[in-house]
Amino acid sequence: MPAFVNEIFVLIHLTGMAILVGAFILNMRAKENFPFKLMVIGAAIQLATGTILVGLAYMGDDGGPDNLKITIKSLLATGALIAAIIGNKRQNKGEKNLQPFFHTAGGFAVINLVIAVLWNAEIWS
Ligand code: HEM
């Protein structure tokens, strides 16, 4: 498999991250009208492309991905997707006080971003 294929999915993975984390940061102080729809799209992209990247990592010569890191990232991304879906449904029904769903989805996404970039950072070694 050419490295290019992996690079394309990393590109989509980073675009999904930008949608999800960007929607959260831009609206962090909001009290209503949360961008749940964008967050559902972003989280779904992350789960789909992340799973494909794991498959590609197993196909490569470097011995597959770090399973603990991938397990944690999968759980957090799934949690973010569920929180965004519930928030979206409730907001469409006109419900208020949806900040916990917004901050759960956004918070999990930010933690995943930190894990993705710093898991193997030089300061730990
Ligand atoms: C909110 C969810 C997520 C965020 C914000 C996120 C963020 C990122 C970022 C920023 C990178 C690039 C890191 C770097 O190259 O230094 C990355 C890479 C990666 N992510 Fe995610 N991720 C998320 C979800 C997932 C999920 C659910 C999986 C697996 C099921 C996953 C699997 C991977 C893999 C395998 C790579 C390495 C790609 C490569 O370098 O070839 N990610 N992620």
| pLDDT of res. 62 | 85
Q: Is the pLDDT of residue 1 over 80?
A: no
**Quick check: CB of 5 below 6 Å from ligand 1?**
no
Q: What pLDDT digit, counting tens, does each position of 68-109 carry?
A: 999 999 999 999 999 999 999 999 999 999 999 999 999 999
Q: Separation of 50 CA from ligand 1 center, angstroms? A: 6
Q: Is 84 in the pocket of ligand 1 (CB under 6 A)?
A: no
- Domain boundaries in the chain? 3-120
In the reported structure, the alpha carbon of residue 93 is separated from the centroid of ligand 1 by a whole-number distance in angstroms of 33
Q: Is the CB of 74 under 6 A from ligand 1?
A: yes
pTM above 0.85, yes or no: yes
Which pLDDT does position 125 carry in this prediction? 78
Distance CA 7, CA 33 (A): 35
